[in-house]
Amino acid sequence: MLDRRRYLSRYIPVAVVLLLAVVLTVSCYRCQSTPKPEPVLPAKIPIVRVLIARSVESIDVGTTGPYEIHADGSVVARSMASLGEGKLSRRNGRWSLHAADYASDELTVVAVGQSCVRVGSGLYREKVVFSAGNGGKILAVNHLDMESYLTGVLARELYRSWHARTYQAQAIAARTYAFYEMGTFGRTHRYDLRSDQSSQVYGGFSAETDKARRAVEATRGIVLAIGPEGNEKVFRAYYSSCCGGMTNSAYVLSGPPVTTGPLAGGQKCDDCKASSRYRWPAVTVPKKIIFRALSKRYRQVADLGELKTIEVVAEAGQDESFPRAVWINVVGTDGRKVRIRADDLRIALLRDGQTQGLYSMNCRIRDTGEAIVFDRGRGFGHGVGLCQWGAQGKALRGCSVQEILQLYYPGAKLFRAY
Ligand SMILES: [Zn+2]
Protein backbone atom coordinates (compact mmCIF):
# COMPACT_ATOMS: atom_id res chain seq x y z
CA MET A 1 0.00 0.00 0.00
CA LEU A 2 2.46 2.58 -1.13
CA ASP A 3 1.39 6.12 -0.47
CA ARG A 4 -2.22 5.09 -0.48
CA ARG A 5 -3.46 8.26 1.17
CA ARG A 6 -1.57 10.47 -1.17
CA TYR A 7 -2.95 8.45 -4.00
CA LEU A 8 -6.54 8.72 -2.85
CA SER A 9 -6.29 12.39 -2.05
CA ARG A 10 -5.18 12.83 -5.59
CA TYR A 11 -7.87 10.82 -7.27
CA ILE A 12 -10.93 10.37 -5.16
CA PRO A 13 -12.17 13.89 -4.74
CA VAL A 14 -11.74 13.79 -8.45
CA ALA A 15 -11.81 17.50 -7.90
CA VAL A 16 -8.32 18.64 -8.52
CA VAL A 17 -7.47 16.56 -11.42
CA LEU A 18 -8.27 18.93 -14.15
CA LEU A 19 -8.53 16.63 -17.01
CA LEU A 20 -11.68 16.64 -18.91
CA ALA A 21 -15.12 16.82 -17.61
CA VAL A 22 -17.16 15.65 -20.50
CA VAL A 23 -20.59 17.04 -19.91
CA LEU A 24 -23.13 14.52 -20.92
CA THR A 25 -25.50 15.52 -23.56
CA VAL A 26 -28.56 13.59 -24.40
CA SER A 27 -28.44 13.95 -28.09
CA CYS A 28 -29.45 11.65 -30.84
CA TYR A 29 -31.47 8.88 -29.39
CA ARG A 30 -30.02 6.22 -31.61
CA CYS A 31 -26.47 7.48 -31.54
CA GLN A 32 -23.99 4.60 -31.63
CA SER A 33 -20.94 6.31 -30.19
CA THR A 34 -18.92 5.06 -27.24
CA PRO A 35 -17.09 7.34 -24.76
CA LYS A 36 -14.75 9.49 -26.78
CA PRO A 37 -11.15 8.43 -26.47
CA GLU A 38 -9.34 11.12 -24.59
CA PRO A 39 -5.59 11.85 -24.61
CA VAL A 40 -3.62 9.13 -22.90
CA LEU A 41 -2.78 10.30 -19.43
CA PRO A 42 0.40 9.29 -17.73
CA ALA A 43 -1.09 9.06 -14.25
CA LYS A 44 -0.90 5.77 -12.44
CA ILE A 45 -3.88 3.52 -12.02
CA PRO A 46 -4.94 3.17 -8.38
CA ILE A 47 -4.57 -0.06 -6.46
CA VAL A 48 -7.81 -1.60 -5.20
CA ARG A 49 -7.99 -3.98 -2.23
CA VAL A 50 -10.65 -6.66 -2.52
CA LEU A 51 -11.62 -9.07 0.23
CA ILE A 52 -11.63 -12.57 -1.26
CA ALA A 53 -11.82 -14.74 1.88
CA ARG A 54 -12.51 -14.12 5.52
CA SER A 55 -12.80 -16.03 8.77
CA VAL A 56 -11.13 -19.16 7.51
CA GLU A 57 -8.86 -21.38 9.66
CA SER A 58 -6.68 -22.33 6.72
CA ILE A 59 -6.70 -21.80 2.99
CA ASP A 60 -5.09 -23.38 -0.08
CA VAL A 61 -2.46 -21.09 -1.56
CA GLY A 62 -0.09 -21.43 -4.53
CA THR A 63 1.02 -19.61 -7.69
CA THR A 64 0.98 -20.43 -11.40
CA GLY A 65 4.53 -19.13 -11.95
CA PRO A 66 7.33 -17.05 -10.40
CA TYR A 67 6.55 -15.57 -7.02
CA GLU A 68 7.80 -13.82 -3.93
CA ILE A 69 6.62 -14.13 -0.34
CA HIS A 70 6.81 -11.07 1.88
CA ALA A 71 6.46 -11.14 5.65
CA ASP A 72 5.50 -7.69 6.95
CA GLY A 73 7.04 -6.19 3.83
CA SER A 74 10.37 -8.09 3.80
CA VAL A 75 11.06 -10.71 1.13
CA VAL A 76 11.36 -14.10 2.84
CA ALA A 77 11.08 -16.36 -0.20
CA ARG A 78 11.48 -15.97 -3.95
CA SER A 79 11.44 -18.38 -6.87
CA MET A 80 11.27 -18.47 -10.65
CA ALA A 81 9.27 -21.69 -10.38
CA SER A 82 5.67 -21.86 -9.25
CA LEU A 83 4.62 -22.29 -5.65
CA GLY A 84 2.94 -25.65 -5.27
CA GLU A 85 -0.45 -25.56 -3.65
CA GLY A 86 -0.30 -25.88 0.13
CA LYS A 87 -2.39 -25.04 3.16
CA LEU A 88 -1.71 -21.65 4.70
CA SER A 89 -2.62 -21.54 8.37
CA ARG A 90 -1.95 -19.32 11.34
CA ARG A 91 -1.28 -20.42 14.91
CA ASN A 92 0.10 -18.53 17.88
CA GLY A 93 0.89 -15.48 15.78
CA ARG A 94 2.87 -17.45 13.16
CA TRP A 95 2.10 -18.34 9.56
CA SER A 96 2.71 -21.81 8.28
CA LEU A 97 2.92 -22.70 4.57
CA HIS A 98 4.46 -25.92 3.28
CA ALA A 99 7.45 -26.52 5.57
CA ALA A 100 8.08 -22.81 6.18
CA ASP A 101 7.07 -20.82 9.19
CA TYR A 102 6.87 -17.00 9.40
CA ALA A 103 6.46 -14.79 12.47
CA SER A 104 4.68 -11.76 11.01
CA ASP A 105 1.35 -9.98 11.15
CA GLU A 106 0.91 -10.08 7.40
CA LEU A 107 2.03 -12.56 4.80
CA THR A 108 1.91 -11.51 1.16
CA VAL A 109 2.15 -13.77 -1.87
CA VAL A 110 3.24 -11.72 -4.89
CA ALA A 111 2.74 -13.01 -8.43
CA VAL A 112 5.76 -12.08 -10.54
CA GLY A 113 5.49 -11.47 -14.29
CA GLN A 114 2.56 -13.29 -15.88
CA SER A 115 2.03 -15.45 -12.84
CA CYS A 116 -1.15 -15.49 -10.73
CA VAL A 117 -1.76 -16.26 -7.08
CA ARG A 118 -4.02 -19.21 -6.44
CA VAL A 119 -6.30 -18.88 -3.41
CA GLY A 120 -8.79 -21.67 -2.90
CA SER A 121 -10.19 -22.39 -6.36
CA GLY A 122 -9.59 -18.87 -7.73
CA LEU A 123 -6.69 -17.21 -9.53
CA TYR A 124 -5.78 -13.61 -8.74
CA ARG A 125 -3.50 -11.05 -10.34
CA GLU A 126 -0.70 -9.12 -8.63
CA LYS A 127 -0.73 -10.04 -4.95
CA VAL A 128 -2.77 -11.41 -2.10
CA VAL A 129 -2.22 -10.15 1.44
CA PHE A 130 -3.11 -12.51 4.28
CA SER A 131 -3.68 -11.08 7.75
CA ALA A 132 -5.28 -12.17 11.00
CA GLY A 133 -8.93 -11.19 11.28
CA ASN A 134 -11.36 -11.71 14.13
CA GLY A 135 -10.39 -14.53 16.46
CA GLY A 136 -7.08 -14.99 14.66
CA LYS A 137 -8.84 -16.34 11.59
CA ILE A 138 -7.47 -15.56 8.15
CA LEU A 139 -8.45 -12.60 6.01
CA ALA A 140 -7.30 -12.72 2.35
CA VAL A 141 -7.22 -9.48 0.35
CA ASN A 142 -6.31 -9.19 -3.32
CA HIS A 143 -4.40 -5.98 -4.12
CA LEU A 144 -4.46 -5.15 -7.82
CA ASP A 145 -4.83 -2.27 -10.23
CA MET A 146 -8.28 -0.82 -10.75
CA GLU A 147 -8.57 -1.77 -14.42
CA SER A 148 -7.71 -5.44 -13.88
CA TYR A 149 -10.09 -5.50 -10.94
CA LEU A 150 -12.93 -4.19 -13.13
CA THR A 151 -12.28 -6.89 -15.72
CA GLY A 152 -12.89 -9.49 -13.01
CA VAL A 153 -16.08 -7.65 -11.98
CA LEU A 154 -17.71 -7.19 -15.38
CA ALA A 155 -17.31 -10.83 -16.26
CA ARG A 156 -19.29 -11.76 -13.15
CA GLU A 157 -21.86 -8.97 -13.18
CA LEU A 158 -23.05 -9.38 -16.80
CA TYR A 159 -24.03 -12.15 -19.16
CA ARG A 160 -21.46 -13.14 -21.75
CA SER A 161 -23.88 -12.53 -24.60
CA TRP A 162 -24.64 -8.94 -23.60
CA HIS A 163 -23.85 -5.93 -25.73
CA ALA A 164 -20.44 -4.20 -25.70
CA ARG A 165 -22.11 -0.90 -24.74
CA THR A 166 -23.83 -2.54 -21.76
CA TYR A 167 -20.39 -3.70 -20.69
CA GLN A 168 -18.93 -0.22 -21.11
CA ALA A 169 -21.73 1.48 -19.16
CA GLN A 170 -21.30 -1.11 -16.42
CA ALA A 171 -17.52 -0.60 -16.41
CA ILE A 172 -17.94 3.14 -15.78
CA ALA A 173 -20.54 2.60 -13.04
CA ALA A 174 -18.42 -0.09 -11.35
CA ARG A 175 -15.28 2.05 -11.54
CA THR A 176 -17.16 4.95 -9.93
CA TYR A 177 -18.52 2.69 -7.20
CA ALA A 178 -15.04 1.32 -6.49
CA PHE A 179 -13.53 4.81 -6.31
CA TYR A 180 -16.21 5.85 -3.86
CA GLU A 181 -15.61 2.84 -1.62
CA MET A 182 -11.85 3.42 -1.66
CA GLY A 183 -12.35 6.96 -0.45
CA THR A 184 -14.88 6.09 2.26
CA PHE A 185 -15.06 2.55 3.65
CA GLY A 186 -11.51 1.74 2.53
CA ARG A 187 -9.98 4.57 4.56
CA THR A 188 -10.63 2.73 7.81
CA HIS A 189 -10.50 -0.90 6.72
CA ARG A 190 -7.94 -3.35 5.41
CA TYR A 191 -9.90 -3.68 2.20
CA ASP A 192 -11.99 -1.38 -0.02
CA LEU A 193 -14.53 -3.81 -1.42
CA ARG A 194 -15.90 -7.28 -0.86
CA SER A 195 -16.12 -9.73 -3.73
CA ASP A 196 -19.84 -10.54 -3.44
CA GLN A 197 -23.15 -8.79 -4.01
CA SER A 198 -22.69 -6.69 -0.90
CA SER A 199 -20.34 -4.57 -3.01
CA GLN A 200 -19.50 -5.82 -6.53
CA VAL A 201 -19.21 -9.45 -7.57
CA TYR A 202 -15.55 -10.14 -8.42
CA GLY A 203 -14.17 -13.40 -9.76
CA GLY A 204 -10.48 -12.54 -10.13
CA PHE A 205 -8.36 -13.52 -13.11
CA SER A 206 -10.20 -16.82 -13.46
CA ALA A 207 -13.40 -14.97 -14.35
CA GLU A 208 -11.97 -12.54 -16.91
CA THR A 209 -13.28 -12.59 -20.48
CA ASP A 210 -12.13 -10.77 -23.62
CA LYS A 211 -15.41 -8.88 -23.76
CA ALA A 212 -14.90 -7.58 -20.21
CA ARG A 213 -11.30 -6.67 -21.00
CA ARG A 214 -12.29 -4.69 -24.11
CA ALA A 215 -14.99 -2.74 -22.22
CA VAL A 216 -12.57 -1.82 -19.46
CA GLU A 217 -9.95 -0.71 -21.98
CA ALA A 218 -12.48 1.36 -23.94
CA THR A 219 -13.47 3.26 -20.79
CA ARG A 220 -10.09 3.37 -19.09
CA GLY A 221 -10.04 5.82 -16.19
CA ILE A 222 -13.55 7.19 -16.86
CA VAL A 223 -15.87 7.68 -13.90
CA LEU A 224 -19.19 9.40 -13.24
CA ALA A 225 -18.93 12.62 -11.28
CA ILE A 226 -21.11 15.34 -9.86
CA GLY A 227 -20.28 18.89 -8.83
CA PRO A 228 -19.06 21.99 -10.63
CA GLU A 229 -16.08 21.94 -12.94
CA GLY A 230 -12.90 21.81 -10.93
CA ASN A 231 -14.68 20.33 -7.92
CA GLU A 232 -16.07 17.09 -9.27
CA LYS A 233 -16.75 14.24 -6.89
CA VAL A 234 -17.58 10.62 -7.36
CA PHE A 235 -20.70 9.21 -5.71
CA ARG A 236 -21.76 5.69 -4.78
CA ALA A 237 -22.94 4.62 -8.22
CA TYR A 238 -25.28 1.85 -7.17
CA TYR A 239 -26.62 -0.52 -9.79
CA SER A 240 -28.78 -3.62 -9.75
CA SER A 241 -30.04 -6.40 -11.94
CA CYS A 242 -33.58 -5.27 -12.84
CA CYS A 243 -35.45 -2.21 -11.57
CA GLY A 244 -38.87 -3.59 -12.48
CA GLY A 245 -40.09 -0.51 -14.39
CA MET A 246 -38.78 2.48 -12.45
CA THR A 247 -35.53 3.14 -10.65
CA ASN A 248 -35.57 3.57 -6.89
CA SER A 249 -34.22 6.30 -4.69
CA ALA A 250 -31.03 5.48 -2.76
CA TYR A 251 -33.23 6.11 0.28
CA VAL A 252 -34.28 2.47 0.07
CA LEU A 253 -30.72 1.51 0.98
CA SER A 254 -29.40 4.06 3.45
CA GLY A 255 -29.67 7.47 5.03
CA PRO A 256 -32.40 10.11 4.79
CA PRO A 257 -34.76 10.43 1.81
CA VAL A 258 -32.87 11.23 -1.39
CA THR A 259 -34.86 13.57 -3.61
CA THR A 260 -32.22 15.10 -5.87
CA GLY A 261 -29.07 14.05 -7.66
CA PRO A 262 -28.16 10.99 -9.69
CA LEU A 263 -29.47 8.53 -7.08
CA ALA A 264 -32.90 10.10 -6.54
CA GLY A 265 -34.55 7.46 -8.73
CA GLY A 266 -37.89 7.80 -10.49
CA GLN A 267 -36.54 7.05 -13.96
CA LYS A 268 -39.00 5.05 -16.03
CA CYS A 269 -37.36 1.95 -17.45
CA ASP A 270 -39.22 -0.51 -19.62
CA ASP A 271 -36.09 -1.88 -21.22
CA CYS A 272 -35.67 -4.46 -18.46
CA LYS A 273 -38.85 -6.29 -19.48
CA ALA A 274 -36.74 -9.10 -20.91
CA SER A 275 -35.70 -10.07 -17.40
CA SER A 276 -37.64 -13.00 -15.96
CA ARG A 277 -37.80 -10.99 -12.75
CA TYR A 278 -39.37 -7.87 -14.25
CA ARG A 279 -42.55 -9.18 -12.61
CA TRP A 280 -42.69 -12.16 -10.28
CA PRO A 281 -45.52 -14.10 -8.65
CA ALA A 282 -46.60 -13.72 -5.03
CA VAL A 283 -44.21 -15.18 -2.48
CA THR A 284 -45.59 -16.56 0.77
CA VAL A 285 -43.17 -16.85 3.68
CA PRO A 286 -44.32 -18.39 6.98
CA LYS A 287 -43.86 -16.00 9.92
CA LYS A 288 -41.73 -18.58 11.72
CA ILE A 289 -39.20 -18.50 8.90
CA ILE A 290 -39.12 -14.71 8.83
CA PHE A 291 -38.69 -14.60 12.60
CA ARG A 292 -35.86 -17.11 12.51
CA ALA A 293 -33.98 -15.25 9.76
CA LEU A 294 -34.37 -11.86 11.45
CA SER A 295 -33.50 -13.22 14.89
CA LYS A 296 -30.13 -14.38 13.60
CA ARG A 297 -29.40 -10.86 12.44
CA TYR A 298 -31.05 -8.71 15.10
CA ARG A 299 -30.87 -9.47 18.80
CA GLN A 300 -33.81 -7.10 19.42
CA VAL A 301 -35.96 -9.15 17.06
CA ALA A 302 -34.93 -12.36 18.84
CA ASP A 303 -36.07 -10.72 22.10
CA LEU A 304 -39.59 -10.33 20.69
CA GLY A 305 -40.02 -14.08 21.08
CA GLU A 306 -42.47 -14.44 18.19
CA LEU A 307 -43.54 -12.52 15.10
CA LYS A 308 -47.03 -11.06 15.04
CA THR A 309 -46.76 -9.10 11.82
CA ILE A 310 -44.74 -6.80 9.59
CA GLU A 311 -45.87 -3.16 9.25
CA VAL A 312 -44.69 -0.83 6.51
CA VAL A 313 -43.83 2.53 8.11
CA ALA A 314 -42.15 4.40 5.24
CA GLU A 315 -42.36 4.08 1.49
CA ALA A 316 -40.48 5.63 -1.40
CA GLY A 317 -41.54 6.21 -4.98
CA GLN A 318 -42.25 9.16 -7.19
CA ASP A 319 -45.20 7.48 -8.76
CA GLU A 320 -48.13 6.12 -6.79
CA SER A 321 -48.03 2.89 -8.72
CA PHE A 322 -44.45 2.30 -7.59
CA PRO A 323 -44.40 2.77 -3.82
CA ARG A 324 -41.82 0.60 -2.19
CA ALA A 325 -41.36 -0.24 1.49
CA VAL A 326 -38.27 1.46 2.89
CA TRP A 327 -38.74 1.04 6.64
CA ILE A 328 -40.76 -1.69 8.31
CA ASN A 329 -41.69 -2.54 11.88
CA VAL A 330 -41.18 -6.11 12.99
CA VAL A 331 -44.00 -6.50 15.49
CA GLY A 332 -43.91 -9.05 18.33
CA THR A 333 -46.98 -10.78 19.74
CA ASP A 334 -46.83 -8.50 22.81
CA GLY A 335 -46.98 -5.42 20.58
CA ARG A 336 -43.31 -4.43 20.84
CA LYS A 337 -41.80 -3.21 17.58
CA VAL A 338 -38.35 -3.24 16.04
CA ARG A 339 -37.79 -0.91 13.10
CA ILE A 340 -35.52 -2.14 10.30
CA ARG A 341 -34.93 -1.33 6.65
CA ALA A 342 -37.23 -3.31 4.40
CA ASP A 343 -34.31 -4.45 2.26
CA ASP A 344 -32.70 -5.97 5.34
CA LEU A 345 -35.65 -8.33 5.63
CA ARG A 346 -34.94 -9.66 2.15
CA ILE A 347 -31.22 -9.91 2.86
CA ALA A 348 -31.86 -11.72 6.16
CA LEU A 349 -34.00 -14.29 4.33
CA LEU A 350 -31.38 -14.59 1.61
CA ARG A 351 -28.60 -15.23 4.13
CA ASP A 352 -30.75 -17.79 5.89
CA GLY A 353 -31.18 -19.67 2.62
CA GLN A 354 -34.85 -18.67 2.41
CA THR A 355 -35.14 -16.45 -0.64
CA GLN A 356 -38.10 -18.39 -2.05
CA GLY A 357 -38.34 -16.08 -5.02
CA LEU A 358 -38.38 -12.82 -3.09
CA TYR A 359 -36.29 -10.90 -5.59
CA SER A 360 -36.84 -7.36 -4.33
CA MET A 361 -38.87 -5.33 -1.87
CA ASN A 362 -40.72 -3.67 -4.74
CA CYS A 363 -43.91 -5.42 -3.78
CA ARG A 364 -47.00 -5.25 -1.61
CA ILE A 365 -46.71 -6.78 1.84
CA ARG A 366 -49.77 -8.61 3.23
CA ASP A 367 -50.39 -10.56 6.44
CA THR A 368 -52.47 -13.72 6.04
CA GLY A 369 -52.26 -14.85 9.66
CA GLU A 370 -49.72 -17.67 9.44
CA ALA A 371 -47.59 -16.05 6.78
CA ILE A 372 -46.52 -12.81 5.14
CA VAL A 373 -47.27 -12.52 1.43
CA PHE A 374 -45.08 -10.43 -0.86
CA ASP A 375 -47.36 -9.67 -3.75
CA ARG A 376 -47.13 -7.89 -7.12
CA GLY A 377 -43.35 -8.14 -7.12
CA ARG A 378 -41.22 -6.17 -9.54
CA GLY A 379 -37.55 -6.35 -10.35
CA PHE A 380 -34.50 -8.01 -8.91
CA GLY A 381 -32.29 -6.22 -6.38
CA HIS A 382 -32.57 -2.74 -4.89
CA GLY A 383 -33.31 -1.02 -8.21
CA VAL A 384 -31.15 2.04 -7.46
CA GLY A 385 -29.00 3.54 -10.24
CA LEU A 386 -28.21 1.59 -13.39
CA CYS A 387 -30.58 -1.26 -14.20
CA GLN A 388 -28.43 -3.93 -15.86
CA TRP A 389 -31.26 -5.52 -17.85
CA GLY A 390 -32.47 -2.03 -18.77
CA ALA A 391 -28.99 -0.98 -19.90
CA GLN A 392 -28.85 -4.08 -22.09
CA GLY A 393 -32.27 -3.25 -23.56
CA LYS A 394 -31.14 0.29 -24.29
CA ALA A 395 -27.87 -0.87 -25.86
CA LEU A 396 -29.88 -3.18 -28.13
CA ARG A 397 -32.09 -0.22 -29.12
CA GLY A 398 -28.96 1.67 -30.16
CA CYS A 399 -28.44 3.98 -27.19
CA SER A 400 -24.91 5.16 -26.57
CA VAL A 401 -23.02 4.54 -23.37
CA GLN A 402 -23.46 8.21 -22.42
CA GLU A 403 -27.19 8.02 -23.02
CA ILE A 404 -27.53 4.93 -20.88
CA LEU A 405 -25.59 6.45 -18.00
CA GLN A 406 -27.35 9.81 -18.28
CA LEU A 407 -30.65 8.03 -17.94
CA TYR A 408 -29.77 6.06 -14.85
CA TYR A 409 -27.63 8.73 -13.15
CA PRO A 410 -29.28 12.03 -14.17
CA GLY A 411 -27.04 15.04 -13.74
CA ALA A 412 -23.81 13.04 -13.53
CA LYS A 413 -21.07 13.68 -16.06
CA LEU A 414 -18.31 11.55 -17.45
CA PHE A 415 -14.94 12.44 -16.02
CA ARG A 416 -11.55 10.97 -16.76
CA ALA A 417 -9.78 10.37 -13.46
CA TYR A 418 -6.52 9.12 -15.04
ZN1 LIG B 1 -35.12 -1.39 -15.43
- pLDDT for the residue numbered 319: 65
Answer whether residue 355 is part of any domain: yes
Answer whether residue 52 is part of any domain: no
Of 92, 113, 136, the one marking the end of a domain is 136
**Alpha-carbon separation of residue 47 from 109, 182, 191, 199, 372 (angstroms):** 16, 9, 11, 17, 45
Residues 6 or more apart whose Cβ sits within 8 Å of residue 130? 59, 61, 88, 90, 95, 106, 107, 108, 109, 138, 139, 140, 141
Ligand 1 centre and the CA of 239: distance in Å?
Answer: 10
Answer whether residue 354 is part of any domain: yes
Q: Which helix (H) or strand (E) holds 298?
A: none
- pLDDT for the residue numbered 36: 33
Ligand 1 centre and the CA of 86: distance in Å?
Answer: 45
Ligand 1 centre and the CA of 408: distance in Å?
Answer: 9
Both 247 and 341 in one domain: the answer is: yes
Ligand 1 centre and the CA of 399: distance in Å?
Answer: 15
Strand partners, 307: 332
Ligand 1 centre and the CA of 254: distance in Å?
Answer: 20
Both 24 and 164 in one domain: the answer is: yes
> DSSP string of 345-382?
HHHHHHHTT--TT---S-SEEEE-SSEEEEESEE-BS-
Both 192 and 318 in one domain: the answer is: no
Q: What is the pTM of this model?
A: 0.86
The parent domain of residue 277 ranges over 238-379
- pLDDT for the residue numbered 321: 67
**10 Å Cβ neighbour count for 343?**
21
Both 244 and 322 in one domain: the answer is: yes
- pLDDT for the residue numbered 411: 94
- pLDDT for the residue numbered 219: 97
Ligand 1 centre and the CA of 366: distance in Å?
Answer: 25
Ligand 1 centre and the CA of 66: distance in Å?
Answer: 46
Distance, CA of 142 to CA of 54 (rounded, Å): 12
Answer whether residue 51 is part of any domain: no
Both 202 and 281 in one domain: the answer is: no
Q: How far apart are the first and last CA of the chain?
A: 19
Both 127 and 267 in one domain: the answer is: no
Both 324 and 269 in one domain: the answer is: yes
Strand partners, 59: 88
Answer whether residue 112 is part of any domain: yes
Pairing mode of beta strands 47-56, 193-194:
parallel
- pLDDT for the residue numbered 16: 35
Both 313 and 369 in one domain: the answer is: yes
The answer to whether residues 178 and 193 touch, using CB atoms and an 8 Å cutoff, is yes
One-letter amino acid identity for 254? S
Ligand 1 centre and the CA of 245: distance in Å?
Answer: 5
The answer to whether residues 163 and 396 touch, using CB atoms and an 8 Å cutoff, is yes
Number of domains in the chain: 3
Question: Which conformational region is residue 93 in: left (phi greater than 0), alpha (psi within -120 to 50 degrees), or beta?
Answer: left
Ligand 1 centre and the CA of 250: distance in Å?
Answer: 15
Both 280 and 341 in one domain: the answer is: yes
- pLDDT for the residue numbered 310: 95
- pLDDT for the residue numbered 366: 93
Digitized pLDDT (tens) for each residue of the chain, 418 residues in all: 333 444 434 444 444 333 333 333 333 333 333 343 333 333 678 999 999 999 889 999 999 999 999 999 899 999 999 999 999 999 888 999 998 999 999 999 999 999 999 999 999 999 999 999 877 799 999 999 999 999 999 999 999 999 999 999 999 999 999 999 999 999 999 999 999 988 899 999 999 999 999 999 999 999 999 988 888 889 999 999 999 999 998 888 888 888 888 999 989 999 999 999 999 999 999 999 999 999 999 999 999 999 999 999 998 876 666 778 999 999 999 999 999 999 999 989 988 887 778 999 999 999 999 999 999 999 999 999 999 999 999 999 999 999 999 999 999 999 998 8
Ligand 1 centre and the CA of 400: distance in Å?
Answer: 16
Both 212 and 286 in one domain: the answer is: no
Both 261 and 168 in one domain: the answer is: no
Answer whether residue 50 is part of any domain: no
Of 82, 107, 136, the one marking the end of a domain is 136
- pLDDT for the residue numbered 43: 61
Both 258 and 339 in one domain: the answer is: yes
Answer whether residue 222 is part of any domain: yes
Of 136, 165, 180, the one marking the end of a domain is 136
Answer whether residue 19 is part of any domain: yes
